[in-house]
Structure 1
Amino acid sequence: MEEPAFDMEALADELHELVPGFSGLHAIEKFNTGQSNPTYRVEADSGKYVLRAKPPGTLLKSAHQVDREYRVMQALADNNVPVPKVHGLSGEHSAIGRMYFVMELVEGRIFWDPALPGMTAEERAAIYDGMNDVLARLHRVDPEAAGLADFGRSGNYFARQIRRWSEQYLATKTDDLPDMDRLMDWLWEHLPDDDGRVSIVHGDFRLDNMIFSAHGETVLALIDWELSTLGHPLADLSYQCMQWRLPHASGFRGLGGLDLTELGIPSEEDYVARYSERSGIAVDNWPFCLAFSFFKLAAILQGVYKRSLDGNASNPERANEIGKAVPLLASMASEVISGKA
């Protein structure tokens, strides 16, 4: 669905009130990446900004909560986690007809290929280590001290997440996938007891949701906090570690089939061990965590695919491509739970 043109005069007036020091709106242009919340580059006399909004149209319940993204980034700004500085949050009835927030524009590099072509083995190792460090730092933040004690529900995080993504998968289901049906049953049957471990979790922690410095391995900003909540830290870790298993020769651009030693990229086992050392968190129930992460990603992509069929995707062409990946993810999860992977 094509988005309506913005009323630039009304938006300029609103941004002047919403963003400290804002003046002289020149242009607003949508970034062509991303599947979830439409994101725009804003240029003004006062500087360059990023505006992130809810998508237009009918939305799934609990999805696209940009106010939660705003809140968590605001809270983490003083907690040793690299996030963009946020400037202001609109209401639901804004100048563009939906809720949005404005944050600083962080200039740097985003890596879309986890194999990091064109880099040395030492550079790749440093980038992966930087990523590992950010994840451990995030999970060491005390939610209560950060003002986020109520950012998620109490109780078993995995149970809540399995219920949420099962409901959203079934609400957007377009084809019968026996592997997904078996996976949902298996996750409930093998649900571990709640161990009381609670961290701020990003929910979509991966390489291309980070902005790195123009030179070097420094992570300048961890972005796309739409799925953040309070939960189990191993959900974040296992979600990222799917990348080691997903095929490189696919739309996922995973690390599967690559010579990691030659590339200088740590093995999944070494990456997990380094995270555990940094965070102080023991890694257990790993097959369950991985199976859960494959399921969650499959459910997310099914929703993207359904929105593309409904004409409401942020990037329709890409949405159609990744919708076809849902059976692959379900199959890979089946291999994990059967002990074949």
Structure 2
Amino acid sequence: MSSIDPAALTGLDRLAPALAEATEDDRWRSCTAELIIGGKSNLTFTLRSDAGELVLRRPPTGHLLPSAHDMAREARVQRGLAETDVPVPRIVLVDEGDLIGVQFYVMEKVPGHVVRDRTPDGWAETPEERRAMSFALADTLAALHAVDYDAVGLGDYGRPEGFMARQVRRWSGQWDKSHTHEVPEMEELARRLAADVPQQQRATIVHGDFRTDNVVYDAGDPARINAVLDWELSTLGDPMSDVALLMLYWREAGDDGLSLVPGVSHLPGFPTRAEMLDRYATAAGVDLADLTWYQAFAHFKFAVIVQGVAARSKAGAMGGQDFGDLDDLVLRLGAEGLDHLKEH
């Protein structure tokens, strides 16, 4: 990894006094910042002082695509969900760019495990524990989709009507802006998705990137989630988009992996996609009879996200992180998306 300066990227000399004021704790006047490795879009830093630890999120460096990386929006949805059944970190400070030149927010650091490519030693090792942690994920997604967004002050957080048609247009536009060469599979997938958008059945808050490494699990209880993180893509819309994307991330034994989202669901003891869908459907009280179009869209959206990560990494905007050559993954996702449409 190339050398970076977390203090410069967080404006630490200006941030520290602001934190001391926001927390009413002068110990934050002397603090350090460390980049949390693994973020594929916004940059996330651990802030440390004698008062403890906090987390700062800010956009990547360099050119930003339109409508992306809205930090105030991320903070707003978490504040709205604070009194609901969806666990979220407490927001400490939000800044529109005055302090360090870009929007950022600071939140509490929630204790627990973020599960990426392995489960921590001694934690969720039995099949029963692994099913419990998996079903907690499905239940938390159902709880999010059950929130009355008007009641929590998020009635204007998005436009649910026509959501999926706009999503296809949005991600097609992001593809046009970020791809470096032609990928016929992606072009065809975009055309076919736009031509056959299903009728929306529900309108809810959607997370937009719901998976195991975007939640914090309780270190003492794999069946408990302490916080849901990374609200960058959240809005009001069709909850089926969240369900389908989770199923893309939920790899089973024998599936090809996703290099940017390694996951653990393919390991022994974890439930299948069908079992996860059944758990969500039961918790949410809904029918998931036809997910195929949404699964195709999930492949398209994630392929565009992958392409964006590749472009930002190549441009040096990811704090020195290098995610390698992602062209093959983009191509595979496009082809698999088309395969799903054959079943639609």
Residues 1:272 and 2:281 are matched in the alignment: no
The Cα offsets for residues 135-155 of structure 1, whole Å up to 9 and x where unpaired, read as 011000001001100000242
Residues 1:120 and 2:131 are matched in the alignment: no
The residue type equivalent to 1:86 in the other structure is I
Partner Cα separation in structure 1 for residue 74 and residue 38 of structure 2: 18
Q: Which secondary structure does the structure 1 equivalent of 2:31 belong to?
A: strand
Q: Deviation above 6 Å: which 4+ runs of structure 1? A: 114-118
Offset of 1:116 from its aligned partner?
8.2
Which deviates more, 22-31 or 124-133?
Answer: 22-31
Residues 1:303 and 2:312 are matched in the alignment: no
Do the aligned partners of 1:209 and 1:224 also contact (CA within 8 Å) in 2? yes
Change (3 A) 1:22 1:234: farther
Which deviates more, 121-130 or 237-246?
Answer: 237-246
Partner Cα separation in structure 1 for residue 92 and residue 317 of structure 2: 28
Offset of 1:93 from its aligned partner?
2.2
Offset of 1:313 from its aligned partner?
2.5
Residues 1:325 and 2:341 are matched in the alignment: no
Find the partner of 1:131 among 126, 133, 137.
137
Find the partner of 2:168 among 143, 162, 171.
162
Offset of 1:53 from its aligned partner?
1.1
Counterpart mapping for 1:76-225 below 5 A:
76-94=81-99, 96-113=100-117, 119-195=125-201, 197-217=202-222, 218-225=224-231
Offset of 1:75 from its aligned partner?
0.7
Do the aligned partners of 1:32 and 1:315 also contact (CA within 8 Å) in 2? no
Partner Cα separation in structure 2 for residue 30 and residue 253 of structure 1: 20
Q: Which secondary structure does the structure 1 equivalent of 2:92 belong to?
A: strand
Do the aligned partners of 2:55 and 2:107 also contact (CA within 8 Å) in 1? yes
Change (3 A) 1:339 1:192: closer
Find the partner of 1:244 among 236, 250, 253.
250
Offset of 1:280 from its aligned partner?
1.7
The Cα offsets for residues 250-275 of structure 1, whole Å up to 9 and x where unpaired, read as 5243679x5x7xx3322212211221
How many residue pairs are counted as aligned between the two chains? 333
Find the partner of 2:14 among 3, 10, 13.
10
The residue type equivalent to 1:133 in the other structure is D
Change (3 A) 1:106 1:276: same
Q: Which secondary structure does the structure 1 equivalent of 2:116 belong to?
A: coil
Partner Cα separation in structure 2 for residue 332 and residue 138 of structure 1: 28
Do the aligned partners of 1:90 and 1:101 also contact (CA within 8 Å) in 2? yes
The residue type equivalent to 2:73 in the other structure is R
Matching residue of 2:262: 253
The residue type equivalent to 1:109 in the other structure is H
Change (3 A) 1:337 1:3: farther
RMSD over aligned Cα, in angstroms? 2.3
Residues 1:227 and 2:236 are matched in the alignment: no
Which deviates more, 268-277 or 59-68?
Answer: 268-277
Offset of 1:80 from its aligned partner?
1.0
Offset of 1:114 from its aligned partner?
6.9
Q: Which secondary structure does the structure 2 equivalent of 1:23 belong to?
A: helix
Offset of 1:3 from its aligned partner?
5.4
Q: Which secondary structure does the structure 2 equivalent of 1:212 belong to?
A: strand
Offset of 1:56 from its aligned partner?
2.2
Do the aligned partners of 1:18 and 1:89 also contact (CA within 8 Å) in 2? no
Partner Cα separation in structure 1 for residue 26 and residue 196 of structure 2: 52
Residues 1:41 and 2:46 are matched in the alignment: yes
The residue type equivalent to 2:193 in the other structure is L
Partner Cα separation in structure 1 for residue 214 and residue 116 of structure 2: 9
Partner Cα separation in structure 2 for residue 219 and residue 4 of structure 1: 29
Partner Cα separation in structure 2 for residue 194 and residue 144 of structure 1: 19
Do the aligned partners of 2:43 and 2:318 also contact (CA within 8 Å) in 1? no
The Cα offsets for residues 89-115 of structure 1, whole Å up to 9 and x where unpaired, read as 012121x22111110011211111378
Q: Unaligned regions of 5+ residues in structure 2, if any? A: none
The Cα offsets for residues 32-74 of structure 1, whole Å up to 9 and x where unpaired, read as 1211111111112332111111222221000011111100011
Q: Which secondary structure does the structure 1 equivalent of 2:54 belong to?
A: strand
The residue type equivalent to 1:63 in the other structure is A
Do the aligned partners of 1:89 and 1:100 also contact (CA within 8 Å) in 2? yes
Do the aligned partners of 1:114 and 1:207 also contact (CA within 8 Å) in 2? no
Residues 1:336 and 2:344 are matched in the alignment: no
The residue type equivalent to 2:156 in the other structure is D
Offset of 1:299 from its aligned partner?
0.8
Offset of 1:321 from its aligned partner?
4.1
Q: Unaligned regions of 5+ residues in structure 1, if any? A: none
Residues 1:50 and 2:55 are matched in the alignment: yes
Matching residue of 1:23: 27
Do the aligned partners of 1:248 and 1:255 also contact (CA within 8 Å) in 2? no
Do the aligned partners of 1:143 and 1:149 also contact (CA within 8 Å) in 2? yes
The residue type equivalent to 2:111 in the other structure is E
Q: Which secondary structure does the structure 1 equivalent of 2:299 belong to?
A: helix
